[in-house]
């Protein structure tokens, strides 16, 4: 059954809304004294990683789906260089026999898109500012998942840089829960997730 691309973005939005409900619950528990700061920051990290994993899944589903005519193409600018009739074959070709491939850093997706789609569209439509956000998201993901000296150094250079943060906010976990703006109140986690959601909607427009 052929679906609209927007269904992918809608599904992603529903997922991050469920994560947001969880975030609000843990904030309530923290305010009641039922969670320590360390515990709530660890949960923030898990929520963020889950959101990024789902975003990468969206890109993969979109990429493979467009190559199998699973999704409607609303614009004539989206031109696959080949259409595959089998989901198994398209996965074998795009993944080159690997169990999985990286969709972040986003440059990897763009390079791959230019091979399989004319001008790489729709994966090459993001503006520099949006790609910079995805670079930070990828950096955050690595610092949370790997905790290596290199990933933490990249976090310091690419994400927090010269931001005016207090000591506990200069760690990946502390950074996510730090305040992005006062009015309306928003954490940096919320800001990054909203940016990812906006990018997902643009790609699936």
Q: Where are the domains of the chain?
A: 6-203
Q: How confident is the model at residue 99, as a pLDDT?
A: 85
10 Å Cβ neighbour count for 40? 19
Q: Measured on CA atoms in the order 196, 199, 204, 205, is the torsion positive or negative?
A: positive
Measure the CA angle with vertex 119, ends 125 and 107; round to 5°: 60
| Percent with pLDDT over 70 in the chain | 100
Measure the CA angle with vertex 54, ends 144 and 75; round to 5°: 135
Residue-wise pLDDT for 80-135, tens only, equals 999 999 999 999 999 988 888 999 999 999 999 999 999 999 999 999 999 999 99
10 Å Cβ neighbour count for 50? 15
For residues 6 and 203, the answer to whether their CB atoms sit within 8 Å is no
For every residue of 38-94, DSSP letters joined together read: HHHHHHHHHHHHHHHHHHHHHHHHHHHHHHTT-B---STT--BS---S-HHHHHHHH
H-type alpha helices, the chain: 6-31, 37-67, 87-95, 106-116, 128-145, 149-155, 172-177, 188-203
Q: How confident is the model at residue 31, as a pLDDT?
A: 97
Q: How confident is the model at residue 139, as a pLDDT?
A: 96
Give the residue carrying structure tokens 């990468």.
56
166 φ, ψ to 5°? -80, 170
Say how far apart CA 23 and CA 16 lie, in whole Å. 10
For residues 136 and 44, the answer to whether their CB atoms sit within 8 Å is no
Residue-wise pLDDT for 135-172, tens only, equals 999 999 999 998 899 999 999 999 999 899 999 999 99
């Amino acid at each position: 059954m052929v679906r609209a691309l927007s269904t992918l973005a809608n599904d992603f939005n529903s997922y991050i809304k469920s994560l947001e409900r969880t975030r609000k619950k843990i904030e309530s528990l923290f305010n009641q004294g039922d969670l320590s700061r360390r515990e709530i920051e660890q949960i923030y990290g898990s929520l963020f990683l889950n959101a990024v994993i789902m975003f990468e899944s969206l890109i993969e589903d979109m990429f493979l789906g467009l190559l199998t005519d699973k999704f409607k193409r609303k614009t004539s600018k989206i031109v696959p260089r080949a259409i595959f009739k089998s989901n198994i074959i398209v996965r074998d070709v795009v993944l080159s026999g690997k169990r999985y491939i990286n969709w972040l850093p986003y440059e990897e997706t763009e390079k791959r898109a230019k091979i399989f789609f004319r001008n790489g569209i729709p994966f090459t439509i993001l503006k520099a500012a949006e790609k910079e956000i995805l670079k930070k998201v990828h950096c955050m993901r690595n610092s949370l998942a790997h905790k290596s000296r290199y990933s933490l150094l990249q976090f310091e250079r690419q994400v927090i840089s010269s931001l005016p943060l207090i000591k506990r906010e200069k760690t990946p976990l502390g950074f996510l829960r730090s305040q992005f703006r006062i009015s309306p109140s928003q954490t940096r986690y919320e800001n990054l997730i909203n940016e990812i959601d906006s990018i997902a909607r643009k790609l699936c427009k």
